[in-house]
Structure formats: structure tokens, C-alpha cells
Amino acid sequence: MKSFHFVVNDELGIHARPAGLIVKEAKKFQSSIKITKGERTVLASQLMMIMSLGVKKGEEVSVTIEGEDENEAYTAIESFFQNNL
Amino acid sequence: MEQYSGKSILKKISIGKIFYYEKKQATVKRNKVEDTQAEVLRFQEAKKTAQEQLDLLYKKAQKEVGESGAAIFEVHMMLLDDDDYCESVYNIIESQKVSCEYAVAVTGDNFSKMFAEMDDEYMKERAADIKDITERVINILTGTNTDMSDLIEPIILVADDLAPSETVQMDKSKLLGFVTQFGSSNSHTAILARTMNIPALIGVDIKKEWNGKLAVIDGYKGTIVIDPQEDYLKEAKKQIEQDLKKQELLRQLKGQPAVTKDGTKVHLYANIGSVSDVASALYNDAEGIGLFRSEFLYLESDDFPTQNEQLNAYKTVAENMAGKKVIIRTLDVGADKKVDYFHLDEEENPALGYRAIRICLTREDVFRTQLSAILRASAYGNLSIMFPMIISVEEVKKAKRILQEVKDQLKADHIEYKDVEVGVMIETPAAVMMSEELAAEVDFFSIGTNDLTQYTLAIDRQNPKLDDFYDPHHPAVLRMIKQTVENGHKGGAWVGICGELASDTSLTETFLRMGVDELSVSSTFLLSVKDKVRSLDLSK
């Protein structure tokens, strides 16, 4: 299992469009990818659920990735967060 | 190429694609089904169609408004692809054995509620997006076209009939013409077509399969041609060009006074139905606004418009007209103009029923809010107030008393207002018969010829079967107008005409000879009426 923490930089937080792009990215991999904010954890493939976390600028989320292709998935998802959020 | 005919409202030609408008289904019913697998497949099909529509919209918007404007459609595509949303639809179909329309509606409700309850303004707004995609899928499933917001190019609107509450929400810049099955030449749709200067046909045997097809409306011949042939199209385009040239000639009249050859002056004002109509009024040289239909404020909203909302609208018009006269007609709903939140009862005879001033005088709270907003806006320009549907002197006295009380309140609150002229619509035979006494109470009269004709001739103007009997040139109507002008002047009130008849140039001379002081018409007719006025010589 791999994981990373991330503090959101985007003005709007994790709003609809980036959330949708996370889903697209996550669906490319076999691994189970989860996003946690506070006490709530959702799958990175669940668009409305990610949006319902209501992650705002300056808030921290943690992402865990587990599965056969977790290394590739980690690289892709982590850089997606860095570049888009 | 197929040709259909109907009654034409406006002599003009339009070419465009047809949008077949259907009324929104009130609610989706909870229908039980046997074959749940079939419902699941129906959902998947509808979802696919929705995705295709959205993709098309996305690409179009990208080209026309750029990436940031197009992003919303991409988000909609993503939302519609959400696993939880789709799972929920499948679950409801399977577990409750219900139709997929119902499953989609319930799912949409649940998810939009989730967002509406979030503690984040941005996410709250996403509730509307969920509703949007849900409605899109349901419309595909039920095969209804209601949403004009997808339209990027202008269209010819085809519908059974259109209510004011429906047309008020339409983006007018996207309309090339109307074709309806029902409605009469005096109905709301007809008036809107005249205001917008677009052709309209009524009483046409419309067909749903026209949707998306190219068509030509010919307002001269009263025909609509579906899938026109090349040479027909060419001819239509030529005619449109000629019409434009004619308009260009009229435009040269801009800045010229509306005076007859012998020096008789008449004021040419514009009728407007919303704040956005002011631009066209000014463009066509209106000397003022002779009729500002304040109903739009009520038709456009879901609840009584607040005093500030009204104040803003009146103030904007007052300021834009920059000192020119603006006559605001107080609320005239009822009859064909229905507003849900007024909770008006169904009536056997709405034209003779609870409407206009009758509502205002019994719902004083609504009336006072409007009067207060108008008075406050009066500080920003030259406003006048006009009461509709008057039948007696007592009504005018009562309305004026309420107006005075509202003024007193404003004074007590140290809110600025100007003294406004007060007038009444003369649109009932009773008002004509009482015009001498009414003139003593008010500064001006404005004759509403549509209703005056309806009430004088006892002809329901909403009934298309009576169109042949509805004759606004009927001598009885013209005598009513003459009497009103004479009595108005006797009592010191100036007299204008704000009904459709005011733009009828075959009567312009008659009206001027009667001594009419002002004609208020749809902006698009201002210059042709001016042209007529300038060609007359009353000394002969």
C-alpha cells in the first residue's frame, strides 16, 4: 500500500471539474484508491462522493493506493494532485 | 417540401430550424413494471443519448464561448457517468420494480439534496447541476423537448400554445418566429411576436416530426414551408433583403419630429414589457414609454417580487429614458396572465373576472409594495402611474387614496420621491361612459384598444373561432375612442392610445382628427407610424 498527504492549493478547493478528472485518472488503474478528509473516506472513482467531501483551499486530504499497479497509480495520482490542485 | 397555412400575425419572413416545444410534465409518476431488465436498458440508452447531447454542446460551446464556458457541459458528462448515481438508478428499478423515469427522478432528488445541504456555497450550487442532468435524462426518456437553454442558434418555435409564464423565460435573442396550433390573433403570443417584430402563425396543424427541420415562415402569405426547396429558399431570402431595405428607409426618419404637414403634433411613445425593451424603444426614437407592463416582474419570479427588486427595474427604466416620460401600468394579472403564487381560483369567465385593479384593491399589501417602489424610483426620472381595468370613479378615488397613504409613509420615512402624474386605462365601456367624471380625477387617459374592443363587442379575444368577428375598426369601438378623447379634454386630461390599434396606420389619420395626443406602440412600429403621421395633412 502506498499513500500521500496533500494540502489543496486551488482557490475553489476540489471542485467539480478536478474531481471529475481525478475519477478519470483513478479509473485507469486496477488499484483501490481512496481519498480521506477528516473522518470520511471515499473511493477516488466516486465523483459525487468526492465532491461531497467539500475539500476547500488549505485543507488536507490523504490518499491511499492499494493493488497490483499501485506504483504506477501512485505516480500518476500524486502528480495529478500536484499539477491540478 | 411541405406547406401548411395559418393565420399570420406579422408581415415578415423568417428562415430557421424548428424547435418543437412541449410543456413540461408536472411530475414523474411511480409506474410499476414487470420487466426490470428492460428499464435498465432504457436508462443506459437514455444516458448514452444524454452524453452525446452534452458532448455536442461541449464542443459547440468550446468553439463559441471558449473552454471556461464549456466546462459546465464536461462536468455534466462526468456527473452523469458517476457510478453511485447509476447504481442508485439500477437499485431503485430492481428493488421497487418501477419505471426508470421514476428511478432517475428519485435518484436525482436524493443527490441534489445531498449537495443542497452542504456547508459550502459552491457545492450548494451543484445541486442545480444534478437536477439539470436528471431532467435531461427524463426528457429523453419521455421524449419531451422543453429545454431551450441548449439552443445555440436561433430557432422557429413550434408549440401547441404558449403561456406568458413560458415565453417570459425564453431567451428572446434565440427566436426567429412562432408557430402555434392554438391561440388567437390577440393572444399573448401574438402580442409578443409584434413586440419582437418576428413573424408568427396561429391555427397551424403542427407536427412533432418537424423538430430540427429547416423551415420558412412567410408572414405575408400566412404559410410555413418545411424542408424548403433551393429556389423557394432563394426567393424567401430575397424578400427578407427587401424588407430590410424598407426598414433602412424608415430609419432615416430617426430624429425627425412626429408632426403632420399642417403642423399637428402627436407624441409617439413605446410599449415595453421588460427592462430590456428600453434599448429598442430608444433606438426607434421613442419620445417616452407610454405603457410599461409591470407584469413581467411578477411573471418572471416564483414569489411576489420585493419592493427592492421592483425599485431596481423601475429605476433602470427611468434612468435610461433620461427625463422622458415613463408610464408604469400597475399590476395587470388575471385573465390570460396567470401567476401561480397568487393562487387565483379557476374562473368560468376570466376576462370578466378577478384581475388587474380588482386584485390590487383587494390585495392592498401587493399594491402598496408596487406603488412604493414606483414612487421611490420616481426620484430618478419622469415616472407616471396608470391604473388598469377601471370601471368607476370610486375605484380611482380608492387607488389614489392608497397612493397618498404610501406617499405619506415615504415622507415619514424621509425617503425621496417626486410627484407623479396619475392616469387610468380606458378599456371598459363603463370607463368610456364615465370618462367625463374620470377626467376630473386624473391627469391622463390611455385607451387600451384590445380590451376595449373585446368588452365593447362582447367578443372573447382568446377564442380563435371569433377572430373573424373581432373587428377593432367597428364603428362602436371608434365612437368609444372619440367619446373618450372629447370627455378627457373637457375634463383637462390628455388622451393617448396604447393598444394594438395605435400602430394601425390605416387609423392614424382618424385618431389625429379625433384629437388623440399620444400613440404608444411596440418599438418596431414607431417609425412606420411616424412615417404615416408625417405624410398626413389634416387641413385638407
CA angle A13, A17, A20 (to 5 degrees): 110
Are the beta carbons of A51 and B122 separated by less than 8 Å? no
pLDDT tens by residue, B288-313? 999 999 988 898 778 899 999 999 99
Between B152 and B42, name the one with better pLDDT: B42
* Ordered strands of the A2-7 beta sheet: A2-7, A60-66, A32-37, A40-43
Give the model's confidence band at B357: pLDDT under 50 very low, under 70 low, under 90 confident, else very high. Answer: very high
State the cell numbers at B191.
402580442
Going from the C-alpha of B37 to that of each of A20, B94, B96, the distances in angstroms are 29, 8, 13
Give how far the C-alpha of residue B468 lies from the chain's centroid of Cα atoms, to the nearest Å: 25
Q: Rounded to a whole number, what is the distance in Å from the CA of B124 to chain A's nearest CA? A: 10
Q: What is the mean pLDDT of residues B141-162?
A: 78
d(CA B319, CA B324): 9
Residue B165: what pLDDT? 59
d(CA B383, CA B378): 5
Which residue's entry shows cell 400613440?
Answer: B519
Q: Torsions phi, psi of B289, nearest 5? A: -110, 115
Q: Is the separation of the CB atoms in B225 and B3 below 8 Å? A: yes
Q: How many residues in chain A?
A: 85
Please tell me if residue A54 touches chain B, with a CB cutoff of 8 Å: yes
Q: Rounded to a whole number, what is the distance in Å from the CA of B407 to chain A's nearest CA? A: 48
Spans of all domains in chain A: 2-84
Give the model's confidence band at B188: pLDDT under 50 very low, under 70 low, under 90 confident, else very high. Answer: low
Between B359 and B63, name the one with better pLDDT: B359
pTM score: 0.65
DSSP for residue B381: S
Please tell us whether the domain made up of B264-535 is placed in CATH 3.20.20.60.
Answer: yes
pLDDT tens by residue, B405-418? 999 999 999 999 99
Are the beta carbons of B119 and A46 separated by less than 8 Å? no
Q: Is the separation of the CB atoms in A13 and A48 below 8 Å? A: no
Please tell me if residue A45 touches chain B, with a CB cutoff of 8 Å: yes
CA angle B373, B375, B381 (to 5 degrees): 110
Burial B55-67 (b: 16+ CB within 10 A, else e): eebbeebbeeeee
Please tell me if residue A23 touches chain B, with a CB cutoff of 8 Å: yes
Q: Which residues of A are catalytic?
A: 15
List the single residue in B111, B122, B129 with the smallest CB-CB distance to A12: B122
Q: Is the separation of the CB atoms in B162 and B200 below 8 Å? A: no
pLDDT tens by residue, B11-32? 899 999 999 988 765 567 888 8
Residues in A touching B115 (Cβ below 8 Å): 48, 51-52
Within 10 angstroms of residue B326's Cβ, the number of other Cβ atoms is 29
Residues in B touching A18 (Cβ below 8 Å): none
ipTM confidence:
0.88
Residues in B touching A20 (Cβ below 8 Å): 74-75, 78-79
B155 Cβ neighbours under 8 A, 6+ residues apart: B16, B17, B18, B19, B148, B174, B175, B176
List the single residue in A15, A19, A52 with the smallest CB-CB distance to B114: A52
Q: Is the separation of the CB atoms in B135 and B76 below 8 Å? A: no
d(CA A39, CA B290): 64
- Tell me which chain A residue has its CA closest to the CA of residue B83: A46
B19 Cβ neighbours under 8 A, 6+ residues apart: B145, B148, B151, B155, B156, B157, B158, B211, B212
Residues A2-84, CATH architecture: 2-Layer Sandwich (3.30)
Please tell me if residue A13 touches chain B, with a CB cutoff of 8 Å: yes
Which residue's entry shows cell 490542485?
Answer: A85
| CATH of region B36-142 | 1.10.274.10
Q: How many residues in chain B?
A: 540
Please tell me if residue A7 touches chain B, with a CB cutoff of 8 Å: no
Q: What is the DSSP string of B159-191?
A: ES---HHHHTTS-GGGEEEEEESS--TTSHHHH
Nearest to B176 by CA among B162, B196, B159: B196
Q: Is the separation of the CB atoms in A53 and A35 below 8 Å? A: yes
Q: Torsions phi, psi of B234, nearest 5? A: -60, -45
Within 10 angstroms of residue A84's Cβ, the number of other Cβ atoms is 14
SS3 B343: coil
CA max distance for chain B: 86
Spans of all domains in chain B: 2-23+149-248, 36-142, 264-535
pLDDT tens by residue, B436-482? 999 999 999 999 999 999 999 999 887 878 888 888 899 999 999 99
Residues B2-23+149-248, CATH architecture: 3-Layer(bba) Sandwich (3.50)
Give how far the C-alpha of residue B341 lies from the chain's centroid of Cα atoms, to the nearest Å: 18
List the single residue in A17, A19, A48 with the smallest CB-CB distance to B111: A48
Are the beta carbons of B123 and A46 separated by less than 8 Å? no
Residue B496: what pLDDT? 98
d(CA B205, CA B199): 17
- Tell me which chain B residue has its CA closest to the CA of residue A21: B78
